[in-house]
Chains A and B, each alone.
Chain A
């Protein structure tokens, strides 16, 4: 852990508000991305992030620098806060059984061409339960066992939901590719260019 993080943690432990503010200013943007991946809307993500930071300040004494970086510790808190917030708002996970089977396409190229914001937007459109598993497994690197504990589901459910999440993502990327192809035509028509 770098010296800046150590100073920030010690400052927060003392209850120094300037260090707390520094912590927010340093990590808020990155943690907001994490929060956005789990939340449905920007506002929801911001609320989750606020709650997560309050938890971080209240439990900063539990942070162990030997176990990992400060960012990952905070990221875990943000993820758990987002999931808890979701569970509180929607006690039952949405049951989506009919996942569309989409033929395999060359979507990797599409991803390469996408901006991060577009990617986040596409991920945010995946149904909640699938999105959570997808985020936890693919982006945040949790195993299916850990996911099953976090979400209180079985490992097999976690696997199947990941599969379905990927299927939906493929479909959305494919649609996005079609949409992207249409953009030049639409622009031409709008601007009246021959």
Chain B
């Protein structure tokens, strides 16, 4: 019979029976397996961390972008001034409508001020909606939200009332809870463009971007010089002795809007180009010894920095594509160079004899007035506030004409590759 005795027998015999196992070998296998698992786990942790970082960064970007959108004209965040993005005219018109409506219909003088404000704004909104068929659908959807915002802006005036006399009606309680329940609630308001489609044909951007504006900029340029029209030996000599350093330019522009995306800019442009001239100067001296006179030649390394300064008037056409915060565009035109100043020295034609020409003493070399350059650039602007934008731009400025006189032995032309930053502000 299979009895408990058999169970006990089997249990006792196998309970802690040791198998014939090489524990050392097993330990090595376990250790190797653990190391592999640990490495794999480390890689997974790293990967997961990176993914999470990317996720957070992505979410952050999306949230930031959403916030940027929300802070634009189409959106208003409740805890900010809800009227701020709208123009004074819009606010004035809205106020007028409310006042007119109040005069006509203000029969309930004993009404709670909060209820009164709520009622008036609601009625004004509904009247406005009726009068504007095209905007009706949109505004119907926005009525409640506009209502909330207007309520909030008006309720700021009644803050004492709110604190002293708690709201009695259910709607007031719900409205009062809004800022608490949704501290970052983003609420839509009808934009000025939607309220006044004819007036704001150029969109709400017209008030911030397509108005007359000023911009100041600073560019760093790489100057590419081209010498031509002379003896090749002299060209090689000058190219070997002179090195083109960075050129710097800056200016101030006034921008006039031509169309929704086109604008004309003009102002003042200044550019300074520095060239480094280095050579070995040979000087000789005669030393009297006991019996004779000995000529001694000495070599000295000399370095000069030649400067070419130009000033001109840019005339530029800009095409800009605007998004909520960013503006991308292309700018091209011309800079009418009015004057230039040069300083330093250049190797003379007979350099072998050690001659150098002082640039400022040789008026026959450089022109005092030069023609025009062609400029083209791409820019990206970021809107810091309704009035200010910062931007970066990069482009090319080509001087087709020689900056030297025609009778000089060499033509000297420049092309500047520039990259710069700037700030733009609107002029109200």
- Cβ contact of B19, chosen from A33, A54, A141, A170, cutoff 8 A: A33
1/0 contact string of B291-316 vs chain A (CB within 8 Å): 00000000000000000000000000
Does A28 make an interface contact (CB < 8 A)?
yes
Task: Give the residues from 12 to 59 in chain A that come closer than 8 angstroms, CB to CB, to chain B.
Answer: 17, 20-21, 24-25, 28-30, 32-33, 36-37, 46, 49-50, 53-54, 57
With A46-B26, A54-B34 in contact, is A30–B17 under 8 Å at CB? yes
Does B15 make an interface contact (CB < 8 A)?
yes
Does A119 make an interface contact (CB < 8 A)?
yes
- Cβ contact of A29, chosen from B3, B19, B31, cutoff 8 A: B19
Question: Which of B5-13, B241-249, B343-351, B359-367 forms contacts with chain A?
Answer: B5-13
Shortest Cβ distance from residue B27 to the other chain A in the assembled complex, whole angstroms: 4
Does B16 make an interface contact (CB < 8 A)?
yes
Q: Which residues of A contact B13 (CB under 8 A)?
A: 116, 119
- Spell out A's residues near B (CB within 8 Å): 17, 20-21, 24-25, 28-30, 32-33, 36-37, 46, 49-50, 53-54, 57, 71, 104, 107-108, 111-112, 116, 119-120, 123, 138-139, 141, 166, 169-170
A71 to B337 alpha-carbon distance, docked (Å): 93
Shortest Cβ distance from residue B28 to the other chain A in the assembled complex, whole angstroms: 9
Asked if residues A36 and B27 are in contact (CB atoms below 8 Å), the reply is: no
Shortest Cβ distance from residue B38 to the other chain A in the assembled complex, whole angstroms: 10
Asked if residues B14 and A54 are in contact (CB atoms below 8 Å), the reply is: no
Across the interface, name the chain B residue whose C-beta is closest to A75: B16
Asked if residues B26 and A24 are in contact (CB atoms below 8 Å), the reply is: yes
A27 to B133 alpha-carbon distance, docked (Å): 87
Q: Which residues of A contact B31 (CB under 8 A)?
A: 17, 21
Shortest Cβ distance from residue B25 to the other chain A in the assembled complex, whole angstroms: 10
Say whether chain B's binding surface is mostly helix, strand, loop, or mixed: helix
Q: Which residues of B contact A116 (CB under 8 A)?
A: 13-14, 17
Across the interface, name the chain A residue whose C-beta is closest to B11: A139
Does B30 make an interface contact (CB < 8 A)?
yes
Asked if residues B27 and A29 are in contact (CB atoms below 8 Å), the reply is: no
Q: Which residues of A contact B2 (CB under 8 A)?
A: 104, 107, 166, 169-170
Most chain A CB neighbours (cut-off 10 Å) among B11, B13, B24, B33: B13
Asked if residues B14 and A108 are in contact (CB atoms below 8 Å), the reply is: no
A36 to B29 alpha-carbon distance, docked (Å): 18
Asked if residues A21 and B1 are in contact (CB atoms below 8 Å), the reply is: no
Across the interface, name the chain A residue whose C-beta is closest to B32: A50
Does B109 make an interface contact (CB < 8 A)?
no
Asked if residues A50 and B18 are in contact (CB atoms below 8 Å), the reply is: no
Does B21 make an interface contact (CB < 8 A)?
yes
1/0 contact string of B34-56 vs chain A (CB within 8 Å): 10010000000000000000000
- 6 closest Cβ pairs, A-B complex: A29-B18, A32-B19, A25-B23, A28-B23, A24-B27, A32-B21
A32 to B26 alpha-carbon distance, docked (Å): 10
Asked if residues A138 and B7 are in contact (CB atoms below 8 Å), the reply is: yes
Across the interface, name the chain B residue whose C-beta is closest to A52: B30
Does B20 make an interface contact (CB < 8 A)?
yes
Shortest Cβ distance from residue B387 to the other chain A in the assembled complex, whole angstroms: 61
A57 to B396 alpha-carbon distance, docked (Å): 67
A190 to B33 alpha-carbon distance, docked (Å): 47
18 A-B pairs besides A33-B14, A108-B6 with CB distance below 8 A are: A21-B27, A24-B23, A29-B21, A32-B21, A33-B19, A46-B26, A53-B26, A54-B33, A54-B34, A108-B5, A111-B6, A111-B9, A116-B13, A123-B14, A138-B7, A139-B10, A166-B2, A169-B2
Q: Which residues of B contact A139 (CB under 8 A)?
A: 10-11, 14-15
- Cβ contact of A53, chosen from B6, B15, B16, B30, cutoff 8 A: B30
With A24-B23, A46-B26 in contact, is A30–B37 under 8 Å at CB? no
A107 to B33 alpha-carbon distance, docked (Å): 43
Asked if residues A33 and B26 are in contact (CB atoms below 8 Å), the reply is: no
